[in-house]
Amino acid sequence: MSDRDRQRSTASQRASTRTAQRRNELRAEAARLHEERQNLGSARTRAETWALTAAAVVGAISLSVTAWGTYWTARVAEDQLQQSKEQDEDKAKAQAARVTYWLEQPTSEDPRKVRGSGNRLVIVNRSLDPVTNVSFIYEVHEPVPHGSPDTAGLMAWGFSSISTFPPCSKTIVRSVDLSLTDGKPVPTKAWLQIAEMVFVDAQGRGWHRGNEGSQLVKDEAGGFLADVDALSRRLELDRGGLKWTRLKPVDQPVIENSAAWAKPLEECGKSE
């Protein structure tokens, strides 16, 4: 091989080597760029994931806050509604709460020996308006030893009504002024028991008082008459044993006319 051929061969080898080196460099650069793209994609994916997670957390918190706010808004509205209802009930009951009765205990008898709720019925209207149809279911008993049955000594029963009871007034009905079934006056030691009282306020609402005047509720339609019917039926003992009998009610003019001698109250407009 001539010198020229050797030179050409050497130059060709060098060119091939440079070409291979350049090819390797390009491959390395391509690999580096590919790796960078992958790293960039992973970073972007993580960032997007974090962003989505953060958005979900914020959304959940916002939803919880909204739900909590809605709950408390509903609670407040419910409380306000209940308060308004109670205020309306108190307002409706304002006059009725000032109308009551009670029975005064005897002062001349030993309560350990004489049984009874009292010997005088006290009727009071502390409101500034009259009330109407003030009705009582009553019983008149003769004094009996302590521990006797409820029906023992029953001399009369019935229901009596006061058509209109004046405002700011008080009246007293003595048991000894009541009448028996035959129209005769009751004995001096008789005692009076009130089963219930009903009346109508100035707005036309019916009210019921029981438990010796301490309980006040709205009077249901027909409730008073139903109680009258129930109280008119009693178990009595005769030769054939116990049987239900219907007692004849007695009108009591002293109750019906008691508003005529009602006295004015010094303090008016105050509940009991």
Domain ranges of the chain: 1-92, 98-264
Mean pLDDT of the chain: 74
Least confident residue range of 56-60, 73-77, 113-117, 195-199? 113-117
pLDDT at 41 > cutoff 90: no
Q: Are 254 and 239 in contact (CB under 8 A)?
A: no
Q: Which of 264, 105, 266, 97 is nearest to 171 (CA)?
A: 264
Q: What is the mean pLDDT of residues 38-61?
A: 70
What is the pLDDT at residue 24?
75
What is the pLDDT at residue 40?
63
pLDDT at 267 > cutoff 70: yes
What is the pLDDT at residue 134?
94
pTM of the model: 0.59
